[in-house]
């Protein structure tokens, strides 16, 4: 059985001591490919470097909505440059975060920079990984008006079933992580039960959001199997089936190839 962890941050300092062991544990349980996402220019450069140094690692580059202060033309040029590097398969994580940002002008700036980075994805013909928190309406509006022709995923999905259905109609996938295994997973179980197979991606967002039974500890790509197991249980499918179609979805969206 093979899995892809389609969203993690192995460049995080929490992995500085034991990254090779983390990668080996992942491979042992069938997680042979991972995609690390940057959230600043610095971390974007770091994930590109990781991808170039580890087999089975790929990278997404972009600036996260909480990290946009100082974003300018030069920043966009740097993303272009990084995105052209080998093993970069996506623009992300980019998007909107209204949970942390309450100021309306600052939210408008988030929208502007989100749209600018969507434009980079369009120019480079790359899929997009979106971070969206408590900005459901604006995110959907931007996807409808500014993301025509683009493809991608709403990472760590936290919206409603209605919004998910709109996303699927537009061709956007949803990313499912550790919270699916939490007792307070709210609407998520109903949403994944309703999802068409081709609209689901597995991810960890490691080092954050470790699934049960490791909730509260450092997360790592090997634990994507715990998310897959929960998905299989909820949907009444075998783990093999979930592994098969989520891996195919990851390959189709991100065109991750073995080097």
Judged by CB, which is closer to Ni ion: 28, or 90?
A: 90
Q: How far is the CB of 206 from Ni ion (least distance, A)?
A: 9
Phi, psi of 201 (to 5 degrees): -125, 145
Q: How far is the CB of 55 from Ni ion (least distance, A)?
A: 22
Total binding residues for Ni ion by CB under 5 A? Answer: 1
Strand order in the sheet with 152-154: 3-8, 31-37, 57-61, 88-97, 128-133, 152-154, 173-176, 200-202
Q: How far is the CB of 7 from Ni ion (least distance, A)?
A: 6
Judged by CB, which is closer to Ni ion: 116, or 205?
A: 205
Q: How far is the CB of 37 from Ni ion (least distance, A)?
A: 5
Judged by CB, which is closer to Ni ion: 138, or 177?
A: 177
What's the half-sphere exposure (Cβ side, CA atoms, 13 Å) at 179? 17
- Report d(CA 225, CA 26) in Å as an integer: 9
- Report d(CA 114, CA 111) in Å as an integer: 5
- Report d(CA 110, CA 135) in Å as an integer: 11
101 lines the binding site for Ni ion (CB under 5 A): no
- Report d(CA 155, CA 141) in Å as an integer: 17
What is the signed CA dihedral for 175, 181, 184, 188, rounded to 10 degrees?
A: 30
Judged by CB, which is closer to Ni ion: 65, or 195?
A: 65
Residue window 170-209: x/- pattern of binding to Ni ion, with contact defined by CB under 5 A: -----------------------------------x----
Judged by CB, which is closer to Ni ion: 8, or 259?
A: 8
Binding residues for Ni ion, rule: CB under 5 A, are 205
């Amino acid at each position: 059985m093979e899995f892809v962890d389609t969203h993690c941050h192995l460049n995080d300092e929490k992995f500085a001591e034991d990254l090779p062991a983390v990668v080996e544990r992942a491979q042992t349980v069938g997680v042979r490919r991972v995609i690390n996402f940057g959230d600043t220019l610095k971390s974007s450069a770091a994930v590109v470097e990781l991808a170039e140094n580890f087999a089975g690692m790929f990278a997404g580059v972009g600036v996260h909505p909480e990290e946009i202060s100082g974003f300018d033309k030069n920043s966009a040029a740097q993303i272009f440059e990084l995105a052209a590097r080998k093993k970069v398969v996506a623009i992300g994580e980019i998007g909107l975060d209204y949970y942390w940002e309450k100021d309306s002008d600052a939210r408008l700036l988030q929208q502007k920079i989100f749209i600018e980075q969507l434009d980079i994805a369009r120019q480079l013909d790359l899929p997009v990984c979106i971070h969206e928190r408590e900005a459901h309406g604006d995110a959907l509006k931007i996807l409808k008006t500014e993301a025509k022709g683009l493809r991608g995923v709403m990472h760590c999905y936290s919206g409603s079933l209605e919004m998910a259905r709109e996303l699927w109609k537009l061709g956007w996938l949803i990313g499912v992580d550790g919270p699916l295994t939490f007792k307070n997973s709210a609407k998520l179980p109903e949403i994944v039960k309703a999802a068409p197979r081709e609209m689901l991606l597995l991810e960890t967002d490691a080092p954050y959001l470790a699934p049960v039974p490791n909730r509260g500890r450092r997360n790592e790509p090997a634990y994507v199997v715990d998310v897959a197991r929960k998905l299989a249980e909820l949907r009444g499918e075998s783990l093999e089936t979930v592994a098969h179609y989520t891996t195919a979805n990851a390959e189709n969206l991100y065109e991750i190839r073995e080097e």
